[in-house]
Amino acid sequence: MQSPWQLDFYRRPLQDDHGKPLWELLICDQAMNFTYAAFCPQAEASAVWVRSQLQIAQAKAGGCPPYISIFRPQSVSLAEVACRELPVEVRPERDVPTLKQWLRSRAAWYTNLPNHTREPYNPLAIDRPAPVPMSDYLMGDRWQFAAVGADELARLEHEPIPIRQIPENLSPVALGLPSTALIPGVIIDGGRQSMALARWLQAENPVMLQYIAGKPDGLLLESGLCDRWIMATFEDDEVAGAARTFSERKLAAKGLHFLLLRPDDSGMTYTGFWLLQATDGKQIRAMTG
């Protein structure tokens, strides 16, 4: 069986013989045992061209992958159309480390080519929309910054929670965190809107929670490939202090943090639980368990 593929299709800092931008399709598997690369003039960049190249790549690989992971929103749209007639699933995912490392290497190689445009180029940059405020009714009754020990986190992982995202590779043990580490997070008491919020979050695919200092301060949720949501704003000094502690603990915990949704603060029932990780200040990871 073929390994899953990682794919990117976008314009590069290169031009053709007519001075027009060149696009490039890159495909690899996680171990780089299979790679495929092809350039395309901008005028020909389309789902039809991508489909033809995927067919060539599949013939070269000796079969179809179970799915293709794509981190760039524009590439997702084209690949979804291209794969409609192919037995391949397209999965939007931020976490494609092999492909991103290959893109960095290719970016260095482009500068040695005679058709390099010399324009500033970040191979991992994607268009990010401005944060959008969440509907007030979704946030329920109240929320708070919190932290739990590894044993409490393990207990939560085994609670009968209807909606959950708990990747095995994000456990404190898998990340090499000491048993004394405090894992920071945000707890929301959703009240009557608890399940509605859980379903909305599940559809949006939470990726990271982030404290943004400002006037006012804010709590930001990143989701999907590039979406950002303003979950709350606040000017209270005590809450701001808790937010700074949340950020410090997240850094100490190798980016690991959680989002816990419950109907109330009784501690008896929970509605949703998401275990998340910020892999660095900008690139965020969260995988469905």
Domain boundary assignment for the chain: 5-110, 132-285
Mean of pLDDT over the chain: 90
Instruction: Write down the pTM of the prediction.
Output: 0.78
Average the pLDDT over each of 10-19, 77-86, 113-122, 132-141 and give the range with the smallest value.
132-141
CATH topology of domain 5-110: Nucleotidyltransferase; domain 5 (3.30.420)
Q: What is the pLDDT of residues 36-73, one digit of tens each?
A: 999 999 999 999 999 999 999 999 999 999 999 999 99
Q: What is the pLDDT of residues 16-39, one digit of tens each?
A: 999 999 999 999 999 999 999 999
Query: What is the per-residue pLDDT for 286?
Result: 31
* Cβ atoms of 209 and 257 closer than 8 Å: yes
Alpha carbons 225 and 231: distance in angstroms, whole number: 18
- Position of tokens 């695919």? 205
* Cβ atoms of 79 and 68 closer than 8 Å: yes
Of 134, 190, 133, give the one whose Cα is nearest residue 162: 190
Bond before 178 cis per omega within 30 degrees: no
* Burial zone of 276 (CB within 10 Å; 0-12 exposed, 13-18 middle, 19+ buried): buried
Both tokens of 121, joined, read 């180029």
Cβ-based neighbour number of residue 241 at 10 Å: 11
Distances (CA, A) of 232 to 118, 133, 236: 42, 8, 12
Of 134, 162, 194, 153, give the one whose Cα is nearest residue 276: 153
